[in-house]
Structures are given as C-alpha cells and as structure tokens.
Amino acid sequence: MSAPLEITGLTAGYGRTVVLHGIDLPAWSPGTVVGLLGQNAAGKSTLLKALSGQVRYSGEARFNGQGLAGLSARHRASIVGYQPQAAPLATGLLVYEAALATFHATAPDLGRDEADRRIGAAFSELGLSNLALRRVDTLSGGQRQLLSLSLVLARQTPLMLLDEPTSALDLRWQIQTLQAIRRAAEERNALVLIAIHDLNLALRFCDEVAVLHHGRVLAAGPAAATVTPDLLRDAYGIEGRIERCSAGLPIVVADGATATSPPPGGISP
Amino acid sequence: MMAATATAASDASDISAAYRRITRRRVGLLLTLCLALAGALVLDVVTGPSALTLGDVIRGLFDPTSLSAGERVILWSVRLPYALMAVVVGASLAVAGVETQTVLNNPLASPYTLGISWAAALGAVAAIVIGIDILPAAIVLPLAAFLSALTAGLAILALAQIFGSRTETIILFGIALVFACTALISLLQFVADAETVQQSVFWMMGSLGRATWEKLTVVALVFAAVMPFTLRGAWSMTLLRAGEEQASSAGLPVHRVRLAAILRASLLTAAAVSFVGTIGFIGLVGPHIARLLLGEDHRFLLPGAALTGALLLSLASIASKLLVAGAIIPVGIVTALVGVPTFVALLVARRRGL
C-alpha cells in the first residue's frame, strides 16, 4: 500500500523562532500508530500543529499526494483530526453540545443521525456516555481530555494527530485510551501520530516512533528497535536500560540524568 | 464487538433523546420570554404621565379614531415608538453582547469593550459641539454617531486583519479606542460652552425619548438584516465555546468567524446607540441572563439574549417613567438599576438550584 503521509524538508516555528529545521520523516503505512518522542520543546507539538494547519510551515507535507498547506480549513479537517494539548475550555457548554457543534459547524452535510451514531460510539468507547449532558465546566481535567479525544475519534479522519492524549489520565484510562486509538487506526486504516512522553506506553502501543531533538529527527523506526539506552542518553539525557517484564513487554528503566543533560525546553539557537 | 456496537447505538439514542428533552425545555423558556416581553411591551405603552388606560390603548391600536386627537398623538407618536424602540435596541445590544463575549471568550466583553458605543458618543458629541446645521439635529446626531461607530468597528476589523485576531489583541484595540474616544469627548466638552456640554452629556445618558417611527424603522431594519447571518453562525459560535484551539482543530475558520461576528456586533451596536445614545449594561448582562436560562447552545442563546435584552430595556423604560412622578428619567440611568437586581436574583436562584 502506498504511504499516505510524506514529509520532506518541513520547517516551522513561531514568528522568528524556528522550531523544526527542515525535517524529513519516513513514509508510514496506513493503519500505523506512530509515537512522536523527545524532550520538552523538541518540536513534537509544533509538527502536529503544522500538519493540522495551526502553524504555517515551509517544505513538503502531503497526504495521499495532496499538499496539506493549501487546503481550506474545512477540507483539511475532513482529512486531519487534531487533538490539541489544551483540553476544551471549562464553559457551560454541555459535553454532547460540544460534539454536536463540531459536526454541525464543520461537517453539516453529514446528517444528524450519522453524527449521533459517531458521537455515541466515541463517547461509549471513552466512557463519556454518562457525562454527555453534563456541563464541560463540571468535568475533571482528565474527562475534558477524553472529550477532546472523542471529538477527534468521532470525526473518523484518515489521519489523526494527537498531542499528549493521555497526559491528564489515570492509569486505567491511559491504557483504555491508547487501546481505543489503536482500534481506530486498525478498523479505519488510519495513520495516527501521537506525541507522548511515557516511553513505556509508546513501546507498548506504537508500531513506530520518530524521535525529535532540538527540532531535528534524531531517530525513526520500529518502536522496540529504536528506543535504546543510547537513544535515552541522546534524546533525554538520561542513563537507562530497556528491560523485559515477565510478560515479555519492554520496559524503560531510568537510572538517572547524565552529567551532560540537555536543559529542559532547550531549543537550539 | 457486536455487543460494543449495540451499546454505543443505545447510548447514542439515549443521549439524543435526553438532549431533545433539554431542547424542548429551552423552546418553552423562549416562549415564556416572548410572553413576558409582550406583557412588558403592553405595560410600557400603558405607562406614562398622561392617563391612558389599557382599554384606551387596545381600542386605539385597532381603531385610532376612537381616541381623541391628543390621545392618538400620545399613543401613536410617543408611546408606541418609545416602547418598540426599547424592544429593538435592547435586543440589538444583547445580541451584540453575546457575539462579542463568545468571539472574545470574555464574560466581561460587551459592545462597550470594542469601543463602538464610545465612538458613537464621540460622533454625536462632535456634531453637537461643532454644530453641523446642514441638516436638522434629529438627523445629524444619529448620522454622525452611526458613521463614527461604524468607522470604529471597521477600524477594529482592519487592525485585527493586519495584526491578527487573537482575543487579547482585539480587546486591547477596543480598550485603546475607548480611551481615545473618551479623551476626545472630554476635549470637545472642554472647549464647548456650558449649554453644549449639557446637551452632549444628556445625549450620552441614553434616552428612548428620541424615538420616532423613522428611527425605529432604521434600527429594526439593521436588526432584521443582521439576525439571519447571526443565526446562521450559531453552531460556529457554539463550537467556539469549546475553545479556540478545539474549534480550529475541528476545521472552523476561527479568524473569519471572529471578524464576521465583530462586524455584526458593530452594525447592531452602531444602529442602536446612534438613535438612543449610550445605553450600558444591557449588552453585558442581557447575554449572561440568557446564558443562565438557556445554556451555551447559540441556537437558543442568541434569540434568548435578544428577548432578555428587549425585556430588560422594556422594564427599564417602564421604571424610567415611574421612578419620579411626572418625569421621565433617561433610560440609560435606569438600565443598571433594573438589570442588577434581576441578574443577582437569577444568580442566587441558580446557586440554590431553583
């Protein structure tokens, strides 16, 4: 199958601050879940924002041969589902209204029944059905993060870009959420890019990883083969080991920071 | 897998059915507001220094010849345009308030935040002080106020287009405009004579007493022309309440939606304040009352705000005629006196879960 997403020489940033320096990424197949790894400010969120049209970029980013930069907001949204790092605002909007408005405002041709079916499926998958008629400002941070992800899952786009979708979730929902994301990728043959800090979750749920460092690609490849002690040292500035648990799953054990740890949030000049 | 699909389908229909019940309740609330407004409108027409009974008013509406010439003039040239102007201006200001609060994501925003009301005041005060007399004052003042307010609205739009439409940027432009307008108003008043200053201060107090059928028609036409666009953008505005990032990530062209909403709010505010002067509070509190009653779904919130704004100004209009026997206090002074207790009562009721 042809690679849907092609990224070559992509440069992006904010004003005069360049965050991504002409990066190339591998051509992942549809149905693949890709973990974007790297320390804070490595460029993970900026990459997702660039691909989803939130930040301008130069270079090439094509999906199924179509350049993402030139698309209208609505057309891009039919292809790209982006979950921003920030959860929905805590307002008096009802949870169900947030989902309904997403469809009516951006995909009015879909029809109310189909929108309801998709919202119901996404809410059911992420445990939001009982919260559907609650005001968003009464939800916890984790529940609002689940709502944000449900809005992306419900839209059923062939490319999903998820910015730390599990950062506010408890252990159970971290697992359930990533399982739901995997299922969505497999059932709909969608390509999923997840910015994630938890390396153990990345090793368990991602097929591939791309590691960013100071706005450049440090490594990319199958998750288990790419996350190595050397990578931990180079990308995160930690001494660590990759062990196997009794079930054979790889586990990252961090022993401590290296003497020459990169500063947190350091962007190369 | 089959079981999960069935559960999801049942969840979807349960949620949809429960939401339909909420929707029906909201429609009921809108109808109740309509009835309350109709009642307030009748009361407003009946209230006044001249003794016209409810019977006289009803008779006079259907058969004007049944009233004396004086009563006819009072009903048709004073009371009715006065009362209907309160309805249209209140609705315009409250809808403009919802639009600005939503697109700026700021509960303190109102038509005043963007400086449009103050720009209208500047236009009117300038016309009074400079004394443009090529046309009658009844035409010059609202025309100057409208042009000035519209210029301010377009200036905000142009600045947002050039420097970006981030909410903080627009609010800062608005605040800068407010300060610029108030400084210029003070300057004009400083150089003017005492009588002109008094005239300009009175204009700024806001009064429905300037209402005529012609002015009412203009404000109503602007409202009627803007509202279809406002209602068509209801889902976009609802989505914006989930946050700019969420809306934008879902494919909403936030910049365009924001500029269009500001344009609509500018038009509504400019038309409303140009004819009756600066009436505060309605554009701030009308939307909040509607929100407390109807929630954030703008399909209900926007018409709800129009009704609460109209109702508030109607009640203020009645109060302005009753507070001091034999005198009509400028309605701009009364709006806060009526609006604050209403708003506090609603807040208390909501906190108690009533």
- In this structure, what CATH number is given to the domain that contains residue A212? 3.40.50.300
Choice between B296 and B333, residue whose per-residue pLDDT is larger:
B296
Q: Pick A88's closest partner by Cβ from B16, B246, B291.
A: B246
Domain-embedded: residue B12: no
d(CA A34, CA A26): 11
Q: Is residue A52 part of a domain?
A: yes
- Check residue B284 and give its pLDDT: 87
Return the percentage of chain B with pLDDT > 70, whole number.
Answer: 95
Residue B135 domain boundaries:
84-351
* Segment B84-124, tens digit of pLDDT: 999 999 999 999 999 999 998 888 888 777 888 889 889 98
* Average pLDDT value for residue range B315-336: 85
CB contact under 8 A, B246 and A148: yes
Q: Residue B192: which region, alpha, beta or left (left: phi > 0; alpha: psi -120 to 50)?
A: beta
Rounded Cα–Cα distance for residues B177 and B123 (Å): 13
Specify the range with the lowest mean pLDDT, choosing from B15-29, B100-114, B239-253.
B100-114
B7, B15, B294: best mutation site toward chain A, by most A Cβ within 10 Å? B15
Domain annotation covers residue A264: no
Within an 8 Å CB–CB cutoff, is residue A117 touching chain B?
Answer: yes
Tell me what pLDDT residue B4 has: 61
Residue B319, domain member (yes or no): yes
Measured between CB atoms, which of B8, B248, B297 is closest to A54?
B248
Q: In what order do the strands lie in the sheet with A5-14?
A: A17-25, A5-14, A57-63, A66-67
**CA A209/CA A206 separation, integer angstroms:** 7
A265 or B287, which is more confident: B287
Mean pLDDT of chain B, nearest integer: 87
Q: Report residue A221: phi and psi, to 5°.
A: 160, -170
Number of domains in chain A: 1
Q: Flag whether B42 is in a domain.
A: no
Question: Which percentage of chain B shows pLDDT scores above 90?
Answer: 40
- Strand-pairing partners, residue A17, are A14
Is pLDDT at B143 greater than 60 in this prediction?
A: yes
Residue B125 pLDDT exceeds 70: yes
Residues of B in contact with A92 (CB under 8 A): 241, 291, 295-296
Residues of chain A with pLDDT under 50: 1, 266-269
On whether ipTM exceeds 0.85, the answer is yes
Q: Does B245 touch chain A (CB under 8 A)?
A: yes
Of A91-95, A224-228, B6-10, B36-40, the least confident = B6-10
Please check whether residue A97 touches B, CB under 8 A: yes
pLDDT, position B63: 87
User: For A42-58, how does the pLDDT look when each residue is reduced to its tens digit (9 = 90+)?
Assistant: 999 999 999 999 999 99
- What backbone torsions phi and psi does residue B108 show, to the nearest 5 degrees? -90, -5
Is residue B352 pLDDT above 70, yes or no?
no
A257 or B15, greater pLDDT: B15
Tell me the per-residue pLDDT of B52-65, one tens digit each, with 9 for 90 and over.
888 888 888 888 88
Sign of the C-alpha dihedral computed for residues A217, A221, A224 and A229 taken in this order: negative
- Tell me the residue range of the domain where A197 lies: 5-257
Q: Is residue B119 part of a domain?
A: yes
Q: Does B14 touch chain A (CB under 8 A)?
A: yes
Residue B8 lies in a domain: no
Task: Quote the pLDDT of residue A267.
Answer: 43
Kindly indicate the confidence band of residue B3, based on its pLDDT and cuts at 50, 70 and 90.
Answer: low
**Predicted pLDDT at A162:** 98
The answer as to whether A267 is a domain residue is: no
More confident residue, B10 or A140: A140
Say if residue B5's pLDDT is above 70. no
The total of structural domains in chain B comes to 1
Residue type, B256: R
- Domain of B186, CATH number, reads 1.10.3470.10
Distance (Å, rounded) from C-alpha A232 to C-alpha A25?
A: 20
Amino acid A196: pLDDT: 96
